[in-house]
């Protein structure tokens, strides 16, 4: 049974300010469509603020106090983030009792901290080190000499190659492969010679890696994922890539080898970034963008190849009219040819 919090307790947890009854009891969180009287809802924008009278809930997290009577509010400058923290109170991550399953295959010199869970059919190599409160879910494979920090969770079916280093409070979702060789082959007389990859993958604290990601080990140096990086499902990060702190990569985006991406960037869905580039801090790469050159700090780019987003909006606005414009150009050319012929005849 979930715990009941007062509005005042929730406001204290998120450093918000109550407008209404601080003792109003909250038993859960819910969207507008399914909320009950005792649920707290998020009204993060004017669109939702206008819908408050239509919702059964009597408690909302808002950026400003709307003029409705009989309703309670927590005001917060970032209501979306505040709501996320409250959701974690009512629905915390799963807790498991410490256990090394009898069916797990454990290598030599395995070292682990307090409250560690290793599920059924896991394979853990030699010299692996796990911190406190680490969960390794079933059917996960962890290679030799891997280090995983405190409070990290590795969900079922993840494969972590040898020598990988993972920080604290990291979440890795199912189907992800970390530390496989990059796509490195040297051409030789019409054939290809494999380049053995000797580097590692280093994932820093507070990262979340989505399902079915592939993060390649470095060729000679390391592939480095900065602190608090978040990747969506089906993201590919190639060998020797470096990603700065607080950057996010959305579904099906890919980064080619040896590219460096700065801090606080957003790489939108299906964007592709070529290799050996430098992407600055606070850069936004729009969806399905093909990046072929370096991007300076703070720029927003879209299109193929990448261009300033405002220019891309103009270009995309013209694309649908290109067939008609082409016809008009042909007509103009014919008229000019006809005028030229008349002049020559005279």
pLDDT digits 0-9 by tens, 291-336: 999 999 999 999 999 999 999 999 988 888 888 889 999 999 988 8
User: pTM of the prediction?
Assistant: 0.90
Query: Does 27 score more than 90 pLDDT?
Result: yes
Residue range 206-227: average pLDDT? Answer: 97
Quickly list DSSP for 50-117: TTGGGSS-SEEEESS--S-TT-EEEE-SSHHHHHHHHHHHHSPPP----EE-TT-EE-TT-EE-TT-E
Pairing of strands 177-180, 214-216: parallel
292 near 306, Cβ under 8 Å? yes
Residue range 24-31: average pLDDT? Answer: 94
Query: Does 1 score more than 60 pLDDT?
Result: no
pLDDT of residue 342: 79
Q: How confident is the model at residue 190 (pLDDT cuts 50, 70, 90)?
A: very high
Query: Does 175 score more than 90 pLDDT?
Result: yes
Catalytic residue among 173, 239, 276, 309: 239
pLDDT, tens digit, 9 for 90 and up, residues 71-101: 999 999 999 999 999 999 999 998 999 999 9
CATH class of the region 99-310: mainly beta
Query: Does 139 score more than 70 pLDDT?
Result: yes
Distance of CA 256 to the CA centre of its chain: 17
Pairing of strands 17-19, 72-75: antiparallel
Report residue 102: phi and psi, to 5°: -60, -25
Mean pLDDT of the chain: 95
Range scoring the smallest mean pLDDT among 42-51, 191-200, 205-214? 42-51
Kindly report the CATH number that applies to the domain delimited by 5-90: 3.40.1390.10
Where along the chain do the CATH 3.40.1390.10 domains lie? 5-90
pLDDT of residue 40: 96
pLDDT, tens digit, 9 for 90 and up, residues 240-255: 999 999 999 999 999 9
Percent pLDDT > 70 in the chain is 99
Is 76 among the residues known to form the active site?
no
Query: Does 11 score more than 60 pLDDT?
Result: yes
Residues 6+ apart with CB under 8 A from 50: none
pLDDT of residue 47: 87
Where along the chain do the CATH 2.160.10.10 domains lie? 99-310
């Amino acid at each position: 049974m979930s715990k009941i919090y007062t509005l005042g307790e929730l406001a204290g947890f998120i450093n918000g300010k109550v407008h209404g009854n601080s003792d109003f009891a909250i038993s859960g969180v819910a969207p507008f469509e399914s909320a009950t009287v005792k649920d707290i809802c998020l009204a993060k924008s004017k669109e939702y603020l206008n819908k408050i009278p239509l919702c059964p809930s009597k408690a909302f997290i808002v950026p400003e106090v709307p003029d409705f009577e009989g309703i309670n509010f927590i005001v917060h400058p970032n209501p979306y983030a505040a709501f996320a923290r409250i959701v974690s109170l009512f629905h915390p991550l799963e807790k498991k009792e410490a256990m090394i399953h009898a069916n797990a295959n454990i290598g030599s010199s395995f070292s682990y901290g307090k409250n560690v869970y290793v599920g059924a059919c896991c394979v853990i190599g030699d010299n692996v080190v796990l911190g406190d409160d680490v969960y390794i879910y079933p059917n996960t494979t962890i290679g030799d000499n891997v280090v995983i920090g405190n409070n990290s969770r590795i969900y079922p079916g993840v494969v972590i190659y040898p020598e990988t280093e993972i920080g604290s409070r990291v979440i890795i979702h199912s189907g992800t492969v970390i530390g496989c060789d990059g796509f490195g082959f040297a051409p030789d007389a019409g054939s290809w010679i494999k380049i053995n990859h000797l580097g590692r993958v280093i994932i820093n604290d507070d990262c979340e890696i989505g399902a079915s990601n592939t993060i390649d080990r470095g060729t000679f140096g390391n592939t480095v994922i900065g602190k608090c990086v978040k990747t969506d499902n089906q993201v590919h990060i190639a060998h020797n890539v470096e990603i700065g702190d607080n950057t996010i990569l959305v579904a099906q985006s890919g980064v080619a080898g040896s590219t460096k991406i700065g801090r606080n960037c957003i790489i939108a869905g299906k964007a592709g970034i070529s290799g050996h580039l430098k992407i600055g801090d606070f850069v936004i790469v729009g969806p399905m963008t093909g990046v072929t050159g370096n991007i300076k700090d703070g720029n927003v780019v879209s299109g193929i190849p990448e261009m300033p987003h405002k220019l891309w909006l103009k270009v995309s606005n013209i694309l649908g009219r290109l067939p008609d414009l082409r016809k008009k150009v042909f007509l103009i050319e014919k008229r000019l040819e006809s005028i030229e012929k008349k002049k020559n005849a005279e």
